[in-house]
Amino acid sequence: MTTALADTEEFRILLEDELGLDIRAEDLDRPLDDFPEWDSVLLLRLVTVVESLVGRRIPVVDLLETRTFRQMYEVVVGR
């Protein structure tokens, strides 16, 4: 696991700070469809921010298959 995003709380803060999403800890397991502001542009911004932060490429195909922010976090940290 990367130390840049050591836990889901750091990932949640990144979603808020970098993407402007209002996400609480309990929202990490809600379906992405519950967030009307979530779209492909934000996904690309997330990939760019995370790749810069962790210093490696993130498999976008795997991110596209996720259904929650927690699942995204798991892809980002390589689980």
In words, the CATH class of domain 8-77 is mainly alpha
What digits encode the pLDDT tens for the residues 4-34? 788 999 999 999 999 999 999 999 999 999 9
Counting Cβ atoms within 10 Å, is residue 46 exposed (0-12), middle (13-18) or buried (19+)? buried
What digits encode the pLDDT tens for the residues 34-58? 999 999 999 999 999 999 998 999 9
Can you give the pLDDT at residue 1?
38
Can you give the pLDDT at residue 2?
44
> Is the pLDDT confidence value at 60 over 60?
yes
From CA 78, how far away is CA 1, in angstroms rounded? 7
Can you give the pLDDT at residue 76?
92
